Chain A
């Protein structure tokens, strides 16, 4: 019995490893047609679902296939055997008989993801720091428990609620203040900021609370003000943990889907201004997964892979470089 349980426990723990590896392999496999077709160029190409003329010269089999498609509708996908993986997505146009292929690039969602996350971070960081200073140092114990509990409640609210509230109540105000569209990079980033605010504040407070009281008391005894204690004792002491917390929140914000889905506008266009609508990787997945097929689907998996690798890298960076000490 002992042996069986130990084996079972070992396999359950290993399951974590298997799932993570499985996610990576599965996404990579599903993305492979797109990776073969576009390579690393994918991440700098702003075109999504765009038809471009085929550069390769026509073979006879291609032509007969093309002519066959002309007799159907002009938007039929045609299988062309000698074009490898992209065959599903070659779309023929009937006007000039030049076949085109659909290309996909991930630059727009990538830019949308990074910028919405940065806006969220810029918005949430000062407020989260303020809240954690308030909770750790200023508020009396009773108030700190109450406010801390309330902030944790904010973290428990499902993200889709943030999206709906953001779209109908928050975005109109932001749009009035800054101009531009109600659905935009800016409003999406700000709502994302409100969302990661409680998470960031809670873990930053926990880092600050690790500062030994004796250090703080020594500083107070020397006549330091509260701000000086925070700046010269608590921050230096818990710096590593705080930076780790910030990076962890950043990883959270990167992958957030539902709050952003309502607000970012969901169009594959590079934003020229901060108030322009665009799209992020999670939202591109959420909105296009249902209808996509062939190379389009594969490109979505490519995006998912990029997002997974990005968040994996960011979180492990935070874990191994900054939070190791705090973790013990």
Chain B
């Protein structure tokens, strides 16, 4: 009888924990929706921050993350291919572990690193510096996705290719990558979702700008950095703008994230 009672108590507590988790998610999302929508207006997409809009920030955030993807995705994918397809034992394993460690490296430290190697020599913050910081965050995520997706490709496929006389590189590109394509794409989408909402690595690399610009050699508008500035502002109007910006940023991140999840589920 006592055993059954303990069992009941523990199971109830577990279920309550799950409800607490859901409650936090609901609380944050509801807050965002209420606060965000009340200060949301379509003119936000037309004006720049200098005129109390968010257009330059949203475009800037996407350009920063896009540039990071252009640098990070090829490097990460090729490195992932190396550790799965070419790597011999120890070295590949070392890189795999280092990449995992790099994935958990504090993002602010990556910001400080890029500050030291890019911002200090060039003398000012720039969109490039921000993109590089985001790319450094993205590379290990892409590596680990590519690595695990390639591991799902059956060995027989590779052997069949090699038996036909194809070179290893042909086998990788025409057979292995093709059959792991959807998985890798999804992983990249999720990696993009993760870096597009980042703030800390951008704080002192790209900073942010009130104006619309496409010039990556100077301070670059960033939605997340501006949210930080606006949210700590004393003026209520700035804080309302920060809520609207947070709402847009979260919707962006969650939509990309859910799209990735949806593709994976459909595949299964």
Is the A/B pair a real complex? yes
CB–CB B112/A10 < 8 A:
no
Report B156-201 residues with CB < 8 Å from chain A CB: 167-169, 193-194, 197-200
A308 within 8 A of partner (CB): yes
Contact of A255 among B16, B28, B105, B204 (CB under 8 A): B105
CB–CB A159/B199 < 8 A:
yes
Residues A165 and B32 in contact in the complex (CB < 8 Å), given A153-B257, A227-B6, A258-B199: yes
Contacts of B16 in A (CB 8 A): 130
Contacts of B231 in A (CB 8 A): 160, 163-164, 167, 262
Residues A160 and B254 in contact in the complex (CB < 8 Å), given A169-B27, A227-B10: no
CB–CB A151/B112 < 8 A:
no
A315 within 8 A of partner (CB): yes
Count chain B CB atoms within 10 A of each CB in A151, A157, A254, A289 and give the residue with the most: A157
Count chain B CB atoms within 10 A of each CB in A12, A262, A290 and give the residue with the most: A12
Which chain A residue shows the least CB distance to B78? Answer: A12
Q: A319–B204 Cα gap in the complex (Å)?
A: 31
Residues A160 and B28 in contact in the complex (CB < 8 Å), given A257-B200, A289-B203, A311-B106: no
CB–CB A286/B203 < 8 A:
yes
Q: A316–B25 Cα gap in the complex (Å)?
A: 31
CB–CB A133/B169 < 8 A:
no
Which chain B residue shows the least CB distance to A154? Answer: B25
Residues A127 and B78 in contact in the complex (CB < 8 Å), given A19-B102, A164-B227: no
Contacts of A23 in B (CB 8 A): 105, 109-110, 113
Q: A125–B243 Cα gap in the complex (Å)?
A: 30
Q: A226–B116 Cα gap in the complex (Å)?
A: 54
Q: A88–B242 Cα gap in the complex (Å)?
A: 38
B59 within 8 A of partner (CB): no
Q: Is the interface of A mostly helix, strand, loop or mixed?
A: helix
Q: A255–B101 Cα gap in the complex (Å)?
A: 13
B224 within 8 A of partner (CB): yes
Residues A131 and B18 in contact in the complex (CB < 8 Å), given A26-B113, A164-B246: yes
Q: A129–B10 Cα gap in the complex (Å)?
A: 11
B86 within 8 A of partner (CB): yes
Contacts of B115 in A (CB 8 A): 289
A17 within 8 A of partner (CB): yes
* Chain B interface bracket (under 10, 10 to 19, 20 to 34, 35 or more): 35 or more
Chain B 1-31 against A: per-residue CB contact (8 Å), 1 yes, 0 no? Answer: 0011011001101111110111011011001
Count chain B CB atoms within 10 A of each CB in A10, A151, A230, A258 and give the residue with the most: A258
CB–CB B228/A26 < 8 A:
no
Residues A8 and B78 in contact in the complex (CB < 8 Å), given A169-B31, A304-B112: yes
CB–CB A301/B112 < 8 A:
yes
Which chain A residue shows the least CB distance to B224? Answer: A160
Contact of B86 among A10, A26, A300 (CB under 8 A): A10
B81 within 8 A of partner (CB): yes
A212 within 8 A of partner (CB): no
CB distance from B1 to the nearest CB of A (A): 11
Which chain A residue shows the least CB distance to B26? Answer: A150
B234 within 8 A of partner (CB): no
Q: A169–B30 Cα gap in the complex (Å)?
A: 11
Count chain A CB atoms within 10 A of each CB in B3, B4, B28 and give the residue with the most: B28
Q: A162–B224 Cα gap in the complex (Å)?
A: 12
CB–CB A150/B22 < 8 A:
yes
B129 within 8 A of partner (CB): no
Q: A15–B71 Cα gap in the complex (Å)?
A: 12
Residues A226 and B7 in contact in the complex (CB < 8 Å), given A20-B98, A23-B110: yes
A75 within 8 A of partner (CB): no
A295 within 8 A of partner (CB): no
Stretch among A35-43, A44-52, A57-65, A134-142 lining the B interface: A134-142
Q: A279–B169 Cα gap in the complex (Å)?
A: 51
Which chain B residue shows the least CB distance to A149? Answer: B261
Which chain A residue shows the least CB distance to B110? Answer: A23
Apart from A10-B86, A16-B102, A158-B199, 9 more pairs, CB < 8 Å: A5-B169, A12-B75, A12-B78, A23-B105, A154-B24, A255-B106, A257-B199, A286-B108, A304-B113
Residues of B that sit less than 8 Å from A by CB:
3-4, 6-7, 10-11, 13-18, 20-22, 24-25, 27-28, 31-32, 75-76, 78-79, 81-83, 85-87, 92, 94-95, 97-102, 104-113, 115-117, 136, 139-140, 143, 167-169, 193-194, 197-200, 203-204, 224, 227-228, 231-232, 242-243, 246, 249-250, 253-254, 257-258, 261
Which 7 A-B pairs give the minimum distances between C-beta atoms?
A255-B106, A130-B17, A158-B197, A9-B82, A225-B7, A12-B79, A257-B200
6 CB-based A-B contacts, threshold 8 Å: A12-B76, A17-B98, A27-B112, A151-B25, A157-B254, A164-B243
